[in-house]
Amino acid sequence: MDKKVTIYDLAALLKVSPATVSRGLNNHPSISDSTKKRIHTIAKEQGYRTNKFAANLSKQKSNTIGVIVPRLDSYFMSTVLAGIEQVANKVGYNLIISQSLESEEKEKINARTLLNSGVDALLVSLANETKDYEHLKNYTSRKIPLLFFDRVFNLPNCPTILIDNRAAGYEATTHLISQGCSNLLHISGRLNRSVYKERFEGYKEALQAHNIPFDDTNLLETDLDSTKIKTTIEYIKNSNVKIDGLFISSDNYAANCIKELQKQGYQIPRDIKIIGFNNDPVSEIISPNLSTIEYPGHKMGVLAGESIIAHLNGTINLQSTNSILLRHQLLERESTQKTI
């Protein structure tokens, strides 16, 4: 069982044509059950395994789905990927995963490589940097289904899966206000990514709705990179007004801010109330527990996988779907508790 056995070998053994063997192996309806059985048994016996290269070449499809994410090593992304993998694996699709590391350049290369690899579909969460979308139009122009999740962009015929970031931002902000905050700061990711943009807009709307004035000092646009929170902390300390509420677009960043602020003598939530985003595990480890917005990563992955596969199977037509919104949820915890 070491040399490659092909359908020709099986055909010879069974005195049938290779075509019959091929059909039998693929459970083609027009093959009699008896020969089908014979084919399968001899295949098993001979240790036959189909050569995907040949099948792919012939069918011009690969049973493979490409995925591009900003980074593999983020908790949120890994839960999404776990979800995608789970459904893809179940129905026999392979996943080729690559990361852009937030670089537009790398994202372009990845997109090209995956295209060359003949993926049947592409799932993308965009890099922060990305401003041009030509590399993705190569897919749409070839009718290769393309779906965005989380970091989405509105491209014709490309559905998106995400949560209602605006509403979530609104709720998070409203929560801070209802807990007594009036001098808020929103620490955002790059605003050219719609996820952050919309949270920000929800934030602004909430301020407005509560007659709290907004100006540029109420927003800090960052990379949300925890290794460089110092400038953020400085910003907070040097603020003219005493900031009493922080809405931070990432739990991880928020947790690190809390640690640092505590180190500088701030009491959370007494001096500053903080709400994060994502419901990352750290949010329950940090003291005080971090209030946050639950963001269903695994579910998002499952849904992305299911959607794209259903589309590939022709079960549903994704083109007509514009976007799928997942439910988010405000989780009130200690970091925004009222103090007496």
| Rounded-to-10 torsion of CA 200, 162, 77, 123 | -130
Least distance from DNA to the Cβ atom of residue 7, Å = 4
Q: Which does 22 bind (CB under 5 to 8 A by kind): a second copy, DNA, none?
A: DNA
Asked if 181 and 244 touch (Cβ cutoff 8 Å), the reply is: yes
Q: 306, 308, 307, 312: which is closest to 86 by C-alpha?
A: 306
Site string for a second copy, 35-74 (x = CB under 8 A): --------------xxxxxx-xx--x-x-x------xxxx
Q: Under the criterion CB under 7 A, does residue 100 sit at the interface with DNA?
A: no
Phi, psi of 188 (to 5 degrees): -110, 160
**Pairing assessment for the beta strands 64-69 and 121-124 based on DSSP bridges:** parallel
- Please identify, using beta-carbon distances, which residue of 287 and 329 lies nearer to a second copy: 287
Least distance from a second copy to the Cβ atom of residue 67, Å = 9
- Please identify, using beta-carbon distances, which residue of 18 and 201 lies nearer to DNA: 18
Percent helix / strand / coil, the chain, rounded to 5: 45, 15, 40
| C-beta atoms surrounding 316 within 10 Å | 13
Asked if 122 and 144 touch (Cβ cutoff 8 Å), the reply is: yes
- Residues within window 29-68 making contact with DNA, judged by CB under 7 A: 29-32, 34-36, 48, 50-51, 53-55, 57-60
Least distance from a second copy to the Cβ atom of residue 117, Å = 5
Q: Which does 20 bind (CB under 5 to 8 A by kind): a second copy, DNA, none?
A: DNA
What the block records as the tokens of 171 is: 């709720």
- Please identify, using beta-carbon distances, which residue of 2 and 53 lies nearer to DNA: 53
Choosing from 17, 41, 89, 315, the residue that interacts with a second copy (CB under 8 A) is 89
Asked if 280 and 76 touch (Cβ cutoff 8 Å), the reply is: yes
- Residues within window 112-151 making contact with a second copy, judged by CB under 8 A: 113-118, 141-142
Which residues sit at the interface with DNA, rule CB under 7 A?
4, 6-8, 15-20, 22-23, 25-26, 29-32, 34-36, 48, 50-51, 53-55, 57-60
